[in-house]
Amino acid sequence: MRILGVDPGLQTMGWGVIEVDGSRLRHVANGHCTSETGTALGLRLMGLHRQLADLLVAHAPDTAAIEQTFVNRDGAGTLKLGQARGVALLALAQSGIEVGEYAPNTVKKTVVGVGHADKRQVEHMVKMQLPGAVPAGADAADALAIALCHAFHLQGARAMARARA
């Protein structure tokens, strides 16, 4: 199974693709979708959508996961993050794949073991769990962590379904 993780952002949207085969995890690719500050918001969102749509075609994931929006003190920043997340959700929905949504603390707790881990800890654990992975930056490392979180949650759900059957 191929999983795409997305860390939404208006300036930099991180993405990461992993493959899951039983309990084996393998890094496929990672990077950033970017938009240029100073450009009209609609054009920035359209550019992010196109880049993500191209990634969906290029990597053909079976499922995806995205980080939920967290609310911070900057209301305008939270709104822009939500708009970028909405564009990502639109691209994922248009591709027809199911999408898991995870709170930032859930991702960190799943991948690092601590819900308030910092970015260095997340990147370190991503590299430990995906040998050979070289994240293109903190946002790409976060996206890989989101994909890992989704993989672990899917494995847990499957195990529960088997136990019930």
Annotated binding site for Mg(2+): 7, 67, 139
DSSP string, the chain: -EEEEEE--SSEEEEEEEEEETTEEEEEEEEEEE--TTS-HHHHHHHHHHHHHHHHHHH--SEEEEEPPPP-S-HHHHHHHHHHHHHHHHHHHHHT-EEEEE-HHHHHHHHTS-TT--HHHHHHHHHHHSTT---SSHHHHHHHHHHHHHHHHHHHHHHHHHHH-
Contact status, residue 51 vs residue 7, Cβ threshold 8 Å: no
Q: Which of the residues are catalytic? A: 7, 67, 139
Query: How many Cα neighbours within 13 Å face the side chain of 81?
Result: 17
